[in-house]
Amino acid sequence: MNIFIVFAHPEPKSLNASLLNFSVEVLKEAGHQVQVSDLYAMRWKAVADRDDFPWLDAGVPLQYANASGEAFTQHRQLPEIEAEQQKLLWADFVIFQFPLWWYSMPAILKGWVDRVYAYKFAYGVGVHQGEKWGERFGEGVLKGRKAMVVLTAGGRELHYSPRGVNGYLEDLLWPIQHGILFYPGMYPLPPFTAFEVNPRTAPEAFEQIKAAYKERLLTLETTPVIQYRSQNGGDYDGQQLLKPGREGKGVTGLAIHQIHPRVGSYGGEAEAPL
């Protein structure tokens, strides 16, 4: 497969960077083609602003979506934006690798999304007419591809479990896995997460992390995806609301948007779905 890794960590000597380098070796050895966007090394511009559209007249107020859509359709995007979009199109599989900072992506990675996911490229795709609300959430420009979040967290795994004080990791990652990966058509695999990663992480712990990650990397094609419901697959109505009864008895929250979510893992009294 063609594998595109978008990587966000400021330190080349970090565990994250070592893990990245390791993964590139593993993937190439397994016969995959690999491209990496190391955002910090690229000095990626995180802030989306009018400098992204040098052709925009100074007197015209910036409407970012409109400008990005115009730049995309008229082939006048900045080369750096175009290049990232080409990597996405080249890829069969996309990995976002980052340390979890404040329960989300480092700003540089969010800025990659803000600027690369142009209007008419990543959104505003497909027909918006009647009951059809475009091609997204399972369809779109990146349809047919898979993706995976790879993250390191300083906190303990328990704190990210369904009853953990941080909130269940699966729910924390919803804006990314559903809203950013699934939106333009990529089905995400369950994330790979290394917990309790900090400056005191011992070499033995890192060896375990690498071993576990290697297993995930060697099973990218066979690991079942998170079964998010596609928007246009029949589960949502003309208002893009989940039709009544689609979810299993007792399933509430973001889990309703998954076929066969891991219900009951919250420790409540919900029944397992069919």
Show contacts with a copy of itself in window 172-211 (CB under 8 A). 172, 174-175, 178-180, 183, 198-199
Q: What is the DSSP string of 106-150?
A: -HHHHHHHHHHS-BTTTBS-S-EETTEE-S-SS-STTTT-EEEEE
- In Å, what is the CA distance from 23 to each residue of 43, 97, 111, 140, 235? 22, 11, 24, 28, 37
Select from 25, 49, 131, 207 the one that contacts a copy of itself (CB under 8 A).
49
Q: Pick the piece of the chain touching a copy of itself (CB under 8 A) from 27-35, 80-88, 210-218, 249-257.
A: 249-257
> What DSSP designation does 100 have?
-
Q: Name the minimum Å distance from CB 122 to a copy of itself.
A: 9
Q: Name the minimum Å distance from CB 243 to a copy of itself.
A: 9
Q: Name the minimum Å distance from CB 114 to a copy of itself.
A: 5
Partnered with residue 38 across adjacent β-strands are: 7
User: Which C-beta is closer to a copy of itself: that of 35 or that of 161?
Assistant: 161
- Residue 272, interface with a copy of itself (CB under 8 A)? no
Name which of residues 151 to 170 contact a copy of itself (CB under 8 A).
Answer: 154, 156, 158-159, 161, 163-168
Is the CB of residue 152 less than 8 Å from the CB of residue 99? yes
- Residue 239, interface with a copy of itself (CB under 8 A)? yes
Six token digits for residue 131:
């009951």
- In Å, what is the CA distance from 255 to each residue of 85, 166, 177, 186, 270? 31, 17, 13, 18, 12
Name which of residues 218 to 237 contact a copy of itself (CB under 8 A).
Answer: 231, 236
C-alpha to C-alpha distance for 68 and 64, rounded to whole angstroms: 6
Select from 80, 82, 92, 114 the one that contacts a copy of itself (CB under 8 A).
114
Q: Which residue has the tokens 């969010």?
A: 110
- Residue 63, interface with a copy of itself (CB under 8 A)? yes
Name which of residues 89 to 108 contact a copy of itself (CB under 8 A).
Answer: 101-108
